[in-house]
Amino acid sequence: MTYWRLHYHIILATYERQPSITLEREKMFYGIVYKKADELEIKVHAAGNVEDHVHIVASIPPKLSVADCVRHLKGASAFAINHMEGSDGEFE
């Protein structure tokens, strides 16, 4: 049985640090992040945000690079938020 313990503190900022994480978007964001993390076998230990950035503490398995993890989490969350009803499609 292989043992690994890799913890990362990931910070995702909005485009130009614009305060665009509203309560509605925040709910959507966390739902998508936790779902995508589960799909990728990433364990999210903690997550929190303010209106212009998000902090995520996660264990990423060695089979997945940190860059791929961030790409998947950012891509899935931005896609979902941009396709929300009433969204302007400008969330980056």
Q: Which residue has the higher pLDDT, 14 or 42?
A: 42
Whole-number pLDDT of residue 48: 93
- Name the average pLDDT for the chain: 88
| One-letter amino acid of 77 | S
Task: Tell me the C-alpha distance between 27 and 3, whole Å.
Answer: 33
Residue 47 has pLDDT above 90, yes or no: yes
Question: For the residues 40-50, what does the mean pLDDT come to?
Answer: 95
Q: H or E element: which one contains 59?
A: strand 53-59
Residue 89 has pLDDT above 60, yes or no: no
Question: For the residues 65-89, what does the mean pLDDT come to?
Answer: 84
Residue 65 has pLDDT above 90, yes or no: yes
Q: What is the pTM of this model?
A: 0.85
Q: Domain 7-82's class?
A: alpha beta
Cα separations in angstroms, 40 against 45, 55, 84:
15, 18, 23
